[in-house]
Amino acid sequence: MSTTKKLRLGPLPKAESIKLTFACPASLKADLDRYAVLHAQAYGEAVDAATLIPHMLQAFMARDRAFGRIKAERILVSPHVAAPVRTVTK
């Protein structure tokens, strides 16, 4: 079985981005670096862990059924408000 078939994250699309910083455990950083090496081997294009993280998060949220339902129901969740707010369409 090839590495390509094992990786959940496919080739990376080009997209506009903004800078976001976060802290993570050293063990997670090491795993992200390993994943980046495997991804480069599978798709023939070198990428670093920081480039992969947004795509991994996007794939994770796309598979989250509860988040998908909330998004489909147009419920707005503000990071500054504990309870979700429903949108009203006229």
Please give, one letter per residue, the 3-state secondary structure of 14-39.
CCCCCCCCCCCCHHHHHHHHHHHHHH
pTM of the model: 0.64
What pLDDT was estimated at residue 78? 65
Q: How many domains does the chain have?
A: 1
CA–CA dist 46, 50 (Å, integer): 12
* Residue 13 lies inside a defined structural domain of this protein: no
pLDDT of residue 1: 46
Q: What is the pLDDT of residue 56?
A: 94
Nearest to 71 by CA among 81, 50, 60, 86: 86
For the chain, which ranges sit under pLDDT 50?
A: 1, 4
Residues of the domain holding 79: 3-7+19-86
- Domain assignment present for residue 33? The answer is yes
Judge whether 29 lies within some domain.
yes
Query: Residue 80 domain-assigned?
Result: yes
Predicted local confidence at residue 73, as pLDDT: 82
C-alpha–C-alpha distance, residues 61 and 47, integer Å: 21
- Specify the pLDDT at position 86: 57
14 lies in a domain?
no
